Structure 1
Amino acid sequence: MSSLSDNTIQDIESGVLSNFVHEFNVARRHVLSYPGNHPIIAASSEKVLTLLRELLGNNPEITIGIAKDTLIAGDSLLDKSNHAYRNLARLLFSHGIATITFSARLTAAELINFCKIISVKREAIDAKGGIAAIMKMAAITGITLTAIDYSAFLATESGLNNEQPEVLPDRIFESIWQEFVVSLLQGTLVKKSDLSNVHIGLTPAELAEMLNKKLNTAEDNKEKHVSNEQILAAFIQHLEQHPHDSHKEELLRRLNALVSHLSPDLRNQLLSSVFKSLAEKKELAEAFLSQIPEEAIIDTLDAMILKKESLPPMLFSLIGKLSSNLAVKASQMAFELGGSETEELKNKLRELFREESHDKFTPESYQAGLNSVLTDKKALHLGRAELETLKQSLNTHSIENQVSRILLDIINNGFDELGGEIMLKNLVDLSSYFLSCGDFAALMQMYDRLSSQADKENVERYHEILQLFNEPDFVLEVIQGITFWGKTKYQEIGNLIIKIGASFIGPILDRLAEEQNMSLRRYYMDILQRIGDRGREEIIARLRDNRWYFVRNLVLILRNFDANLVIPHIRRLTNHPHSKVKQEAIKALLFLQDSEADRLLLRDFASGDRETVINAVRLAEQSKHAEVIRCLTDFLTRGGLSGLECELKSAVIHSLSMIGSPTTIPVIESFLRSRSLFRSKQLNGLKIEAVRSLNRYPKHLAVPLLNDIIKSGHRTIRESARETIQGIQGGES
């Protein structure tokens, strides 16, 4: 693998690679979930390309290694706990990809086509010539792949840290497959020692063709069937004992490719043997069954039913998890092979579903109602509004909603291992559907019902599904829905985020820190406030952020929490280097009625910085402290009417009126009777402000003073006094 430049390594360390991989995963899901011309696909792919350009810098390309559960950059394994790395690594590894190279010339169309290709099962890709051939047909040149070479030496992950690598000769891996191939062709069990000079270079498809000709014949079929079962049992035993997961996966893939190319009868025969060999090997069975096409499993189960063969109990559950169709088939198999009680139940169900017997199980009153609807022509003449309502109830989305409710009702009434697992899997699929079409109310209902049931029954499977709502990809898509769906979905999305809570706190804080739109900032802050104490610790941890405007917004959120828990942290911000943060911190302390806030105001009143003094005066409107009020009145009565003094006195008049202390009335009266020989215009402007502010003081003190002003003083001041009295009296009525 080519080494990365220092710049690229720095980008990886700073999170650019993580963002790129994450957005790549999102784009891949969008390609699968939305129609090809949907704008979200174009937007998502462009975002990936933008991050790729940022990641590359001046480099023409970047090569990333693929391990089973994570990615390799340079000589380093990336964080295995990173959800985005793990998802991409597992997907590419399942396609047998050792490295992937992204080039600067990658286009959006190529990216979208590549996402489509890797979303197809490997078996289907191999059937069309392999992923390299398909990429060539799609003319993808901006992405280059290197396949895993299983015949080469394999270094363990510890070797990536300059330790001595573990070297595995190809015979350890290939001999298992060679032994299996020769055994199948000869119809007898062979040993490794018999293969010292044997190497049969057949692909699984070529081997299947030979077996179709050689073994799928009438002669000696029974004997061959027994041999196949023994051969498969030996192969799977070797497979289980093999120490390397990557080799196991490749051998299982070859076995699956072999099965998929067999004739139907031989495939059913071989799969039946595989089922029996995997009876006690859950991990291998799960890995193998997940690769087999649904139709092949159904055909094999049908063949086993005809032959009265039983399916190992452990496989019932595994097969049922794969799809609803297979769950039904597995249940049918158990049903068909059941005892006398099952036979009795089967007869009842056959009777129930006989077309001509429906009335036997319909209540008489309900049947009468149905008959009256059919005979009453008037009842069938519905208005346009009723017809539209009925039509809406039959659209796909409405049906999916109803299916979700039905599944939730069934699950909440009892959970059995097979049926419950299937229904929960269907709910997972529905959650993806609701997310893609923006039905956050349906997601909210699903989460609500599952969480209440999990609390009640403490069934581990409920908790596993609920964890899906906390996955980073789910969280990201919900948050992206805020801007994608717009204000019409704000309430639904907000309710869902608040319900789930913890997993959304960090991402919402990240958005708040970077959001340019004021309306969205307020929306994020409202969500964080409504999440409440669950987010308090993470918000407090962000107070050390170097973006002053972000910290100021965090203070606004914290003031709504328990005062005793947040006051110590807000106090520390009163010495923040940015004045607006410091101002917001003091304001929050005043709001929380912390005595320290009054001390800080008095400190700032004495400051030599005019801006600091004026800010403190403006904040003082929330104080009731006697010393604070005294300082404000001193500011009002002292001499000076320069521009700065007028600004200060205007702020004092406003803050005193917001406090509304009766002790201030004599000071206001004295100020209204004051005179200025050279700055009468400025003084009259302040007097008008003082007159208008009297409407916030106790009426019995303010009205007599206003009446006195109406009888004397400047004309404009008298008019202001008259309007203020009218306002007070109007407010009473």
Structure 2
Amino acid sequence: MLMTRLVGQLTGALRNLKVYPASHATSQKLFESALNLIREAMGGETTLSFSLAGNILLINDKPVPDSKRDVFANFISELGKRSIGMLVFRQGLDRDQVQAFFEIMAQDVEQVKAQGGVAALLAMRGISNVQVAGISYGGKGGGGMDGIPGVGPGVGGGSPGAGRPQSLESALPEQLIAMLRTDPQMVTEMLLKGAVAMGSTDEGQARMLAELDQLIGVSKVQGGSDYISQMANVVGSMDQAQGQWVTQVKLDNPEWRDVIRELLDGYSDEKLAKLIGDKAEVLAIEIKDDLALVEKLKAMLFAVPVPPDRREKVYPLLLPKLKKYGLSREDCDFVFGKVLDAKPVLDQYLADLQSRPAAEMLDDAGFRTLRWLVRRAEGCGPAFEGFLGLMSNPDSAVRGAALGRSADILPDLLAMERYDLVERLIDGLSLRLRQEIDATHYPWVLGTLERITEELRIRQKHGLASRISGNLADLLLLLSEKPVARDMVRILSKIDDDNTLQVFVQALLKEPVFELVAEELAVKGERAIPYLLGAVKESEDKTMRFKTMYVMNKIGAGVEEHVIRALADDRWFVRRNMCVLLGQVGGENSLQALGGLLEDRESRVKLEALRSMHKIGGAGCEPWVIRAVYDKDPEVKKEALSLLSRVGGEASVDGLCELYQRKDILGRTEPPEVKKLIIAALGGIGTKNAASFLMKVAKDKDQELAGAAYKTLQELMKKLKSQESAKT
């Protein structure tokens, strides 16, 4: 059930953050899956809501009958811990907003409350498509339904001409526009009314911010260019503290950019510096990595809608607060967009690589310098090459430390979209797999390669992922007997490209990984069939043919159609191999195609076609086998006669009798063994008509043939007598 999967995914993604950071590939994959399920569940609706009514979970206001099941009970527990009575996802939700929601939810509950609650933190980060309301005890809506506008009871109340609405929730768009133009103070009072009723809580703040987002949406659509002054008047009508808080929350929100610009015109530089400083403090609490924090601060600062000269005026006022978070003067300059000369740092790092012990280049200080260069210096390539060189250091301890750091540098490369350096990292790690003599280092290498794989899949960088599969393809065959081979198979399976499928087929000949790759190919299903067929077509190795057939048997559906098409290949050995394969995987649909090959110019193809037809059709292939006994090739005749002894009936007896007597086909010069095979086939068919013909042959002038017929006839008569006795 979709909702069961969705609730389980939401809970799983949240609890995963207790183990892995949000940047980890596992977390990223869970965020992506959660977003896809939310969108699927939302469908064409504008919202998807989860609310609590006691211990009952409601989804879009409908109770979940089995709310006591673990999957739902766990979700209810997570909401309850945070005093959330309602959670709403809105259309427009994107990947970054989902991640931000989970990051906030994963923070310490008391710490979140101290910062104003979940709703406040969502609002501070400019997230309007995820909204929460607190648990309410009594009143309409049961589980906090009225905490979020546009959801639950009371939405859309009021009617044109019914007078002034009692709340913003009950106002129609045209009423809101009229009030914004004529009485913004009244709008502010109505806006604050619900929030004040809830007290100084995150629910009240969430309600107010949500209604503000609703207002600006309506105002933009129906208020024309006046929406900027209208919304600025609403915020300006609040008391000073409340207005500043709203301005701070929306400071870098692109939807509010024009309104914030107008509001900031009335702020002194000191007040503006305080707003930015308070916003920076929220980021500093959330982001512990100082280099990542600097990037976020810069992005936030340049999203604030003020002219460059005013930003410069604010700089000295903000400097003390930024330094409080551990930022250096260079970091502060970077945040404010000052162009930094990274060359001295780069030159010093390169000199240190030559002069300092390798281990020192991998300690916290040395590694931070490398990260700094990756994030700040476009020409950091030589420094990164120097780091890759440490992974090949003669000292095993240094190599191990460098390999460990390779996973730590990955987020920086991805954050700066330095995929050229990611490519070099992939090659460096692959080289280590090929050359490494210390087996304890393999987990570092493969762990980082797997993480890179997952990150590239999330970012849809399939070309780079194929670089990993291309490197691992050769190594899998080389190291198939090593324990790391299983890890390689797992990584390759995640990449799932041409390289992967090709090497999995080749690895079928490697016994240590045979079952593993066979299972992976079977899971790939029809996508793997062309690669498996390619191996069967070209291979003269019976073991390879057997193993590919084994896999295609596991795949089942779709194989037969591909093989039948391959029967038209110009190369005789390909046609032969396809006949053998159809004997393993074919059904009734294959009989007609195989029958057509009885006219093939190559006898080896005809032989395999006959054998496969017998395997597939049994007695049903009799007409084709009868036709084959007239083939000019002695080996084909012999095979057909041998098969008729097992599948033939009266029609075969007639055909065999005719064949035996036709001098234009079997004259006296025909090898006796062919006629002996006809005699044996008649005995195998075992009908009365067959016995009658054998009696005639037993009188043949050729004593050898007569003897063979007599001996066969004796056995046949015993068989017929036994059958008669059984009937009576």
User: TM (normalized to structure 1)?
Assistant: 0.35
User: TM (normalized to structure 2)?
Assistant: 0.35
